[in-house]
Amino acid sequence: MPGTEAPSHPRIQRLSPLVASQIAAGEVVERPASIVKELVENSIDAGATRIIAELEHGGIELVRIIDDGHGIAESDLAMAVAAHATSKIRTTADLDSIATLGFRGEALASIASVSRLSIRSRTAGSDGAFVLELEGLDGTAVRPASGPIGTIVSARNLFFNTPARRKFLRTVPTELERCTDSFRAIALAHPHIGFRAEADGRTLLDVPKDQSPRERVLAILGKELGPQLFEVSADEFDDTRGVAIWGMAGHPEIARASARSQHLFINGRCIRDRTVQHAVAEAYRGLIEPGRYPTIVLHIEMHPGAVDVNVHPSKAEVRFRDSGVVHSAVTRSIRSALAKQDLTPLLNFVRPIPTPVVETLRLPLELPGSGRPGNRGPAPSPGGNSAFSDFFTRPASPPQQRFDYAAIKSSLDAGAVGSGGLTGVPVAPVMPLPEPLSRILQVHKSYLVTQDEQGVVIIDQHALHERAMFEYLLARVLDGGLETQHLLTPVPIPATARQIERLEDLAPLLARIGIQAEPGGPVSVLCRGFPTFLFDRNVDPVEFLSGLLEKAESDAFMSDLASGSEEALRDVLDMMSCKAAVKAGDRMSESELTALVRLREDVERSSNCPHGRPTSVRLTIRELEKLFHRS
């Protein structure tokens, strides 16, 4: 309008160095743990053999890192806190092959902008130390001081000049825990360096230098986990490509509800990487239940040029030049290590029975039909009427035979064994387990009880057979697919419009598992062919296909299917094996019981069903002795 003044616009101007540094600090310094990580990594790059962290008030009031590295020269102290100043990068070519932990030249400048920073350092050729003190980038000149060779960096009063950010810090215990986690993770990656952490006068961690990798893992995670951790290794490394792997992976039994128990390292750098995390999960697939994470410490070494660590300010995320090589090497090495372990969970519920209760237990002096005094029960006799005497006196089974794939195929194609139950023989030979007794006790038509060299083994008959079914079906599908039983009359399956719409996308998967289906109208799908295997196992086509169509409504399931991932196929095979397996409540013959128990020796990953639940548990001789007060 005439007479109206044009709106004024702010002029473009350069930010002050302090504001610019505080913005950069927002990417590098999130909380006290960030300072711990950045300063400790600098100490490692400086060649330190001993690093001490001192914390006050969860690191909010003080983070002090002391090292015995080569130190910072007097002439370099002022430059050390300048933005984008570093001794580790010279040219852009250096960014393609980063071999140090710190390199971005932002850490000290960012920390100085949001704290009261002090750096005291001395080099080997200097007669004394020098100190530089700053408060939000405002500082004094470098001045002489006393101190040993190495560097001491103290960051006090974090976010004193940005109170809005200070309000977002968590409680002191939470911040302290995060600082400690960061320090422990770095200590895990560098067993040749000694680490000590103190908080408000308390020692939280103290590990010596020159430990072996295994000693360092047990020192950090706890020596009590030693029996449940096993080594993982692979060496596929050359000068420019490939990977070398060493680590310690945990028994599925000690999987945790969060990923905090996973410690992953690339060239000594603690990382979070989806490729490696997915490879670990893939290696443990079927051994732990969904929503749980295996305990693992994994060191991956590769040429610096094969991994880009310059993708995030915190340097916790990386990008691999060839992620497929890393994924396959990690998965293969962990699976190989798992295959060599006896993964049967131990039953640790035994509690000693109080002595007064034991003394009140009395058995008849003479048992009915025993003809003998005392409470020892009937004498075992092969000719006796007692099932228990027969159970304990039968000779051990002959040595277990192994089966090749042709034998597996012909045996399983022959159909079910008996009316109640077993179709399935071993899929692949794995590490042999101790030979069980030939006679197995079936309890409540659901659980099997036998023994091995270590104690009593209790088996969930459905879970074990489900694993056998899954491995058999997976081998058949990967070898070409399942046979189809053509139905004389198509079976209608109720379906939603969305399910019918996705039937075409499901077609390749259905063909692999032996199902022929087509739209049968606006609210149904017609099943014209069903897997012979499931047909012989009396699996209801309506129930099975209804469940499969429900899966198809999941976008995640269809995404896995479209991407060519085997996860969707495995989900469906999980369903098939569950439907086909012996159920809880099925009575089984003696020969079927024996055949099922022998599957523990020959089926890969027989310790867990495809959903990750255990197929068996072991009550050791040691626990039995505790129960009966023999220890």
Domains and CATH numbers, the chain: 17-207 (3.30.565.10), 213-339 (3.30.230.10), 483-580 (3.30.1370.100)
| Mean confidence (pLDDT) of the chain | 81
What φ, ψ does residue 481 adopt, rounded to 5°?
120, 170
- Which band of pLDDT confidence, cut at 50, 70 and 90, is reported for residue 226? very high
Q: Which of 376-390, 538-552, 596-610 has the lowest mean pLDDT?
A: 376-390
Return the H-helix or E-strand segment holding 571.
helix 567-580
Q: At residue 310, does pLDDT exceed 70? A: yes
In this predicted structure, what is the pLDDT of residue 393?
29
Given a contact cutoff of 8 angstroms between Cβ atoms, the answer to whether 179 and 36 are in contact is: yes
C-alpha span between 422 and 16 (Å, rounded): 77
β-strands 455-460, 616-620 pairing: antiparallel
Q: Is the pLDDT of residue 363 over 80?
A: no
- 11-60, pLDDT tens digit by residue? 776 656 666 655 555 557 889 999 999 999 999 999 999 999 999 999 99
In the predicted structure, residue 178 carries a pLDDT above the cut 60:
yes
* pLDDT reported for residue 304: 86
Residue-wise pLDDT for 248-288, tens only, equals 999 998 999 989 899 999 999 998 889 999 999 999 998 99
**Spatial strand order in the sheet of 516-521:** 484-494, 524-531, 516-521
Instruction: Encode pLDDT of 470-512 as tens digits.
Output: 999 999 999 888 999 999 999 999 999 999 999 999 999 999 9
Q: How far is CA 137 from the centre of its chain?
A: 43
Q: Are 339 and 604 in contact (CB under 8 A)?
A: yes
> SS3 of 262, please?
strand
| 441-443 β-sheet, strand order | 441-443, 447-452, 455-460, 616-620
Residue 307 has pLDDT above 60, yes or no: yes
pTM of structure: 0.72
**Strand ranges across the sheet with 296-301:** 229-237, 242-250, 296-301, 262-266, 269-271
- β-strand 129-135 against 138-139: which pairing, if any? antiparallel
- Nearest CA among 247, 245, 244, 150 for reference residue 193: 150
- Left (φ > 0), alpha (ψ -120 to 50) or beta: where does 9 sit? beta
pLDDT of residue 386: 29
Going from the C-alpha of 629 to that of each of 353, 354, 512, 532, 537, the distances in angstroms are: 8, 10, 56, 54, 47
Pairing of strands 50-56, 194-199: parallel
Read off the pLDDT of each residue in 139-165 and give the average, rounded to a whole number. Answer: 91
Structure tokens at 322: 């060839």
Residues found in the chain:
631
Does residue 583 register a pLDDT over 70?
A: yes
* Mean pLDDT, range 189-211, rounded to an integer: 96
Is the distance from CB of 552 to CB of 508 less than 8 angstroms? no
